[in-house]
Amino acid sequence: MASPSSAVREVALGITAILGLGAAVLLVSVIAVRVSTKVGLPSLLLYLGIGVVLGESVLGIQFDDADLTRSLGTVALVLILAEGGLTTRWTAVKPALGLGIALSTVGVFVSVGVTGAALHLLLGLDWRMALLWGAVLSSTDAAAVFSVLRAVGVSKRLTGALELESGINDAPVYIAVVLLASPDPISWTAPLLLVYELLVGGLIGVALGWLGAAALRRAALPATGLYPLATVAVCVFAYTAGDLAHASGFLAVYTAALVLGNSRLPHRSDTLSFAEGLGWLAQIGLFVLLGLFASPSSVLHALVPALVAGAVLVLLARPLSVALSAIPFKVPWREQVFVAWSGLRGAVPIVFALIPVIQGVPGAQDLVDAVFVLVVVLTLLQGSTLPALAKLLGLVRSGEAQEVQVDSAPLDELGAELLQVRIQPGSKLHGVYLSELRLPPGATVSLVVRLDKGFTPQPTTRLQVDDQLLVVATEQARDATEKRLRSIDKAGRYARWKGEDGGKPAFPTI
């Protein structure tokens, strides 16, 4: 029998090994982002590959706990949805609100029905299992969409619609998978339950996001780094509140993050940077975990069913669901083709496929194996060809301006706020003279940082891309100042003549 001291030593060595391995995996994964950018390969596949290398087939780490994988996957999805909502600008998604909601509701059910019916006929699955396959495969992945789509360069309306779809459709898909994986018969109350969970989940998210934003603006926290932590905590709490109310926690966390991300938060850019890093950490951990859980030797038998399901999904179910969802919005056919091809699958289908495994549904492991194969194939096929397809369809907008980044920090004792503005590539602030900003009374540019050197600007100073401006504004002039900066960012020095309003706040502010 080992002595207490030796037992403690073994535990310490185990913790040391886990921390060292985790740090090494994280560093390799971060480097993989750079590699994937150069070779044009979606980084999510590299994370899966790292997990497979660590697993039983190569380095021999044994991990087959489906319940733990599902639980950790859910945590990662909550953080990914929080990052997606926080970094999504309402001005980008507002024009595509109707299409995004239609894709995430009507589109989901069309996809489930078409995929289920086709797999029932082609693979001989019973109706419930066929529909379960359709439900698992119908959810687009937020991590895949957020990481791939924002670099393609299509219009903000298209990007906004697809981001909304990927952020919202996890909720109805999760409900459908739970109902289909349950041993209980599906009753006529199922549609009512679905409406309740989506409606209440969305309302909880909006309410907590609004309250959280109001509290953060009034809080005088002792350290800047506490604001990002508090913001993410509100998002995670929204998931908990939604789940405890038997509503959709996934929809609650996404809507709460969307409200918070578009509110006038203190230290907003710090919060977004923190959320982005947390989102990357969740993506890396989730895909490495799923790669570790997968057994390459057992997925080979699922190759044919996976390819059949993928063909049905890509060539029939997805295009039909997009076409039907787009009818009320008169979406041009080129954009419909792009949206249909942009239905990226990632970790979400694999995590949802684990639910029937945990429930003990016969044939559920075959579904997990097929989904794993399908995610790899579709991510490789669609993720690597999206930029070329966008160019072929004439949807890429060269020089598309990124929205000007404006952050604020309160100067409580002076009754003023400090705005930090970074001029992004493509912004029409480039080339504007300082005197042409015509900021409202009570606001002035106090400092310009260019090439890491700061100087006090003059009326004849001409702004350039990558400049950082520090603008001091009174509390009364703060909103008008930000509105003016955003309008010039969009329309240049003649913003007032062109009628640009700079983008109105997404949600009520206090």
Q: Which phi-psi region, left, alpha or beta, contains residue 185 (left: φ > 0; alpha: ψ -120 to 50)? A: beta
Per-residue model confidence (pLDDT) at position 118:
93
Q: Which phi-psi region, left, alpha or beta, contains residue 197 (left: φ > 0; alpha: ψ -120 to 50)? A: alpha
Res. 399: pLDDT tops 60: no
Task: Give the residue among 486, 433, 384, 354 at the shortest CA–CA distance from 69.
Answer: 354
Per-residue model confidence (pLDDT) at position 503:
44
Per-residue model confidence (pLDDT) at position 404:
52
Answer whether 164's CB lies under 8 Å from 381's CB: no
Alpha carbon of 337 to those of 330, 345, 395, 417: distances in Å? 13, 17, 11, 46
Answer whether 373's CB lies under 8 Å from 133's CB: no
253: tokens are 């966390």
Edge-to-edge strand ranges of the sheet holding 453-455: 405-411, 416-422, 468-474, 443-450, 453-455
**Cα 448 to chain centroid, rounded:** 33
Band (pLDDT 50/70/90 cuts) for residue 488 is: confident
Answer whether 371's CB lies under 8 Å from 193's CB: no
- Residue whose token pair is 């509100």: 234
Band (pLDDT 50/70/90 cuts) for residue 498 is: low
Per-residue model confidence (pLDDT) at position 77:
87
429: tokens are 């602030």
Question: What single string gives the DSSP state of each residue in 11-74?
Answer: HHHHHHHHHHHHHHHHHHHHHHHHHHHHHT--HHHHHHHHHHHHSTTTT------HHHHHHHHH
Q: d(Cα 137, Cα 367) in Å, to the nearest integer?
A: 10
Per-residue model confidence (pLDDT) at position 204:
94
Band (pLDDT 50/70/90 cuts) for residue 256 is: very high
Residues 6+ apart with CB under 8 A from 260: 85, 86, 209, 212, 213, 231, 234, 235
Q: d(Cα 297, Cα 133) in Å, to the nearest integer?
A: 22
Question: What single string gives the DSSP state of each residue in 314-361?
Answer: IIIIHHHHHHHHHGGGT--HHHHHHHHHT----HHHHHHHHHHHHHT-
Q: d(Cα 279, Cα 44) in Å, to the nearest integer?
A: 13
Per-residue model confidence (pLDDT) at position 72:
86
Q: What is the pLDDT of residues 311-358, one digit of tens each?
A: 999 999 999 999 999 888 888 899 899 988 887 777 788 888 888 888
Res. 214: pLDDT tops 50: yes
CB atoms under 10 Å from CB of 53, counted, come to 16
Phi, psi of 454, rounded to the nearest 5 degrees: -100, 150
Band (pLDDT 50/70/90 cuts) for residue 508 is: very low
Res. 410: pLDDT tops 50: yes
Res. 21: pLDDT tops 80: no
Per-residue model confidence (pLDDT) at position 413:
53
Per-residue model confidence (pLDDT) at position 402:
45
Q: d(Cα 464, Cα 336) in Å, to the nearest integer?
A: 37
Please report the sign of the dihedral spanned by the C-alpha atoms of residue 245, residue 249, residue 251, residue 255: positive
Res. 406: pLDDT tops 50: yes
How confident is the model over 369-390, as a mean pLDDT?
Answer: 83
Res. 147: pLDDT tops 80: no
The pTM assigned to this predicted structure is 0.73
Q: At 86, which helix (H) or strand (E)?
A: helix 66-87
Domains of the chain: 42-392 (1.20.1530.20), 405-498 (3.30.70.1450)
Q: d(Cα 507, Cα 404) in Å, to the nearest integer?
A: 19
65-74, 125-134, 228-237, 428-437: least confidently modelled range: 65-74
89-98, 223-232, 329-338: least confidently modelled range: 89-98
Res. 506: pLDDT tops 50: no
Q: What is the pLDDT of residues 290-319, one digit of tens each?
A: 888 777 777 778 888 889 998 999 999 999
230: tokens are 């508090």
How confident is the model over 130-139, as a mean pLDDT?
Answer: 89
35-39, 179-183, 218-222, 275-279: least confidently modelled range: 35-39
